[in-house]
Structure 1
Amino acid sequence: MEIGVFKLGMASPADVSELQELIAGGGLDPAQVVAVIGKTEGNGGANDFTRALATKCFAEVLASARGQTPEEVQEQVAFVWSGGTEGVLSPHATVFTRSAGEAGKTGGRLALGLAMSPDLAPEEIGRMAHVEAVHQATLQALADAGISDPADVHYVQVKGPLLTPARISEAAARGAEVVTQDPNGSKPYARGAMALGVALALGEVGDADVSEAAIASRLDLFSSVASTSAGGELTKCEVLLFGNSPDAAGAFRIGHAILSDALDADAVRAAIADAGGVPEAVFAKAEASATLRGRRTTMLSDADINYERHARAAVGGVIASVTGDPAIFLSGGTEHQCPPGAAPIAVIAKVE
């Protein structure tokens, strides 16, 4: 296996010009594209339609180049978008290709495994069915990556559904009860359920500890490598698992660390060192807090700016100050993703 990594700038959620140029110039084989992870300048909420727009536009370009329909592309390519490019964050997409390659590099090289869960019913979102769907999909992605030791996994990106008004109404019409009537309020449950699914698959928590009551509540249960996002554009969960494998080839490795708080620049440097090369792509989470190193903040009490937007802007500035590159995949909400108050960060680096 050999993984290619291509970071593309975007002038708008519909901008696919750099992807088109890469394909036209022969720099990227569209048939080898397996995943796209990107940031759009939407609001990041339940009504952020920039994510669906970006998927549509990227799928149409790949469909034309691959001789497929956009629907077929979306069945074969995982699209993960996070809205919200506050502060210095720059809208962009990172495109991943996968091809055959000779192994044997010292220390292993970047490997990527993918899996998708079945569709989830509205009443399953944020509940144990959601946890189990991601649990099983993560196991499938681990096998797809050819990684046998969970210690070699450095980043598991999961994107799945949240509750929308339409889904809440549909469930009510059937007499089914959803976890909450608030679409945006369903995000912590959805993100938390998916993170616990990853933690179960990687052996970071035990089956006996995970229950419906624990979701978005028992934050002492967590994965140190999960990064989960929820959106209204999905009905199933997409799992992208990244690690290093001695059976993989190529020029990239991945490393990770834990951000102890929003100012933890040392953790950014630690993740880069763990990857062992020049940073190519950075993936992180951000969490708001009422206090930061003994000082009060207004992130959680500001009625004008959502707390997730505060956190993304702050953490994005810290990461970019270290890497020098504001094109960072950074999403909010860390339920069951690292210990409370902390957040995961992963770096893909070019090592040759």
Structure 2
Amino acid sequence: MQAGVHRFSLPDPGDVSALATAIVEGIIDPEAIIAVIGKTHGNGLVNDYTRGYLSQSLSLLIGQATGQPPETVCKRVPFIFSGGVEGVLSPHYTVFTASPDTVPSAHKALAIGVAFTPDLRPEEVGRQRQIDLTAEAVAEAMRKASIDAADDVHFVQVKGPAFAQADIASSVADGHPPATDNPGKLMGYGRAASALGVGRALGHIAEERSVAEAVLKDFSLFSPVASISAGVEVRCNEVVVIGLSQKWSGNLTIAHALMADALDLSGIHAMLAELGFDRGAQISAAESRRIKAAFVKCEASRDGLVRGKAHTMLNDGDMDQQRHIRGAVGAIIASVLGDTALFVSGGAEHQGPDGGGLVSLIVERAGRS
């Protein structure tokens, strides 16, 4: 198999004309599309409906191009969108394809696998069932991608369900109270539990420690490659595993780096050097074109400090902390990569070091234009 990665600008959540053109021109085979990940114009919180709008727009387009009902498209293609393009960040979506290729590969190449858990109820979010189902889905996606070793997995994107107040109240009335009755906080529980599931599947977290009792409590537990989002537009956990496999071909590769805190660029510069980019504060425009997709996970530190100095992100009653941190870290990473079409997501519970985060890059291999 050979993976394709195609990044498109998003003028608004209903405008998927760039993908439509790519399909008409034969650049993308709609049957080969296996996942779409992107950033929309919304706030990234419970009441962000731009994510579902874009999912609908894409499923209609792909369905029309393949002759499949949109509902069928959604059952095979994860549409994973994160709202919030604060500061310099640009709305965009990245289309992943997998096509047959008989050319043997001289090296491990980019590999992608997807899986879906069963639907989750509000009372299951943030609890053991979500952890267990996520771990199983990650293992399934790895098998589909022919990724044999956990060390070859460099990014796992999960989209899990969020629930409005009415859904939560209904569960409480039925005698099944969720982990919290606050819709926004329940999103956090879901992200955290899903991250523990990713960590367990990949060996980052021991099975006996990836338990509901650790959710949002033991922040020494994390996966260095997990990126979890939640939204009311889905009811299951949609899982996309991206890594390297000898059974795939092509000129694309992937790597990841950790951020110890919101200002930490040391790992990113080391990763860029490993990927063959010239050393420097910012990569050149010519080299930036090698970047096919960039993913960032970040979070405001819970102790209210960044390198010993106070931040106010957790105290702001007007703007959620996720919006602050996306804008700040997004600008920092964009200044290094020379690129603003970055998938920057807040809410990094158990995803990278507490108060820090992770960066994953898909790039063309060095030495090829």
TM interval, shorter chain, is over 0.9
TM-score normalised to structure 1 length: 0.97
Offset, 1:192: 0.5
Return the letter of the residue paired with 1:21: T
Is 41-50 or 95-104 further displaced after alignment? 95-104
Residues 30-179 of structure 1 aligned to structure 2 (within 5 Å): 30-102=30-102, 104-179=104-179
The structure 1 residue matched to 2:343, chosen from 312, 329, 348, is: 329
1:12-58 Cα shifts (integer Å, max 9, x gaps) = 11110111111111111111001000000100001100000000001
CA separation in 1, counterparts of 2:325 and 2:162? 21
Structure 2, unmatched stretches of 5+, are 278-289
Aligned partner of residue 313 in structure 1, secondary structure = helix
TM-score normalised to structure 2 length: 0.92
1:295 aligns with 2:309: yes
Residues 206-221 of structure 1 aligned to structure 2 (within 5 Å): 206-221=206-221
CA separation in 2, counterparts of 1:34 and 1:26? 17
CA separation in 2, counterparts of 1:251 and 1:117? 31
Confirm or deny: 8 A CA contact 1:37 1:81 kept in the other structure.
Answer: yes
Offset, 1:149: 0.8
Query: Which residue does 1:185 correspond to in 2?
Result: 185
CA separation in 1, counterparts of 2:317 and 2:103? 53
Query: Which residue does 1:285 correspond to in 2?
Result: 297
Offset, 1:210: 2.4
Aligned-residue sequence identity (percent) comes to 43
Query: Which residue does 1:320 correspond to in 2?
Result: 334
Offset, 1:276: 4.5
Offset, 1:103: 5.5
Confirm or deny: 8 A CA contact 2:9 2:18 kept in the other structure.
Answer: yes
CA separation in 2, counterparts of 1:166 and 1:35? 30
Confirm or deny: 8 A CA contact 1:255 1:273 kept in the other structure.
Answer: no
Offset, 1:294: 2.6
Offset, 1:293: 2.1
Taking only aligned residues, the RMSD between alpha carbons, in angstroms, comes to 1.3
CA separation in 1, counterparts of 2:40 and 2:210? 33
CA separation in 1, counterparts of 2:313 and 2:197? 29
Offset, 1:81: 0.2
1:306 aligns with 2:330: no
CA separation in 1, counterparts of 2:309 and 2:107? 42
CA separation in 1, counterparts of 2:271 and 2:59? 32
Residues 235-314 of structure 1 aligned to structure 2 (within 5 Å): 235-276=235-276, 278-289=290-301, 290-314=304-328
1:284-319 Cα shifts (integer Å, max 9, x gaps) = 111113222232221111222211101000111011
CA separation in 1, counterparts of 2:152 and 2:230? 26
1:96-144 Cα shifts (integer Å, max 9, x gaps) = 0011123543431100011000011111011011101101101101101
Offset, 1:274: 4.0
CA separation in 2, counterparts of 1:276 and 1:203? 28
1:66-96 Cα shifts (integer Å, max 9, x gaps) = 1111111111111000000000010000000
CA separation in 1, counterparts of 2:100 and 2:20? 24
Query: Which residue does 2:287 correspond to in 1?
Result: none
Is 256-265 or 190-199 further displaced after alignment? 256-265
Closer, same or farther: CA 126–69 of 1 in aligned 2, 3 Å? same
CA separation in 1, counterparts of 2:190 and 2:65? 34
Aligned partner of residue 262 in structure 1, secondary structure = coil
Aligned partner of residue 235 in structure 2, secondary structure = coil
Aligned partner of residue 264 in structure 1, secondary structure = coil
Offset, 1:253: 0.3
Offset, 1:275: 4.2
Is 2-11 or 12-21 further displaced after alignment? 12-21
Confirm or deny: 8 A CA contact 2:298 2:355 kept in the other structure.
Answer: no
1:216-262 Cα shifts (integer Å, max 9, x gaps) = 11111111111111111111001100111111111210000001221
Confirm or deny: 8 A CA contact 1:253 1:276 kept in the other structure.
Answer: no
CA separation in 1, counterparts of 2:274 and 2:255? 5
1:338 aligns with 2:352: yes
Aligned partner of residue 119 in structure 1, secondary structure = coil
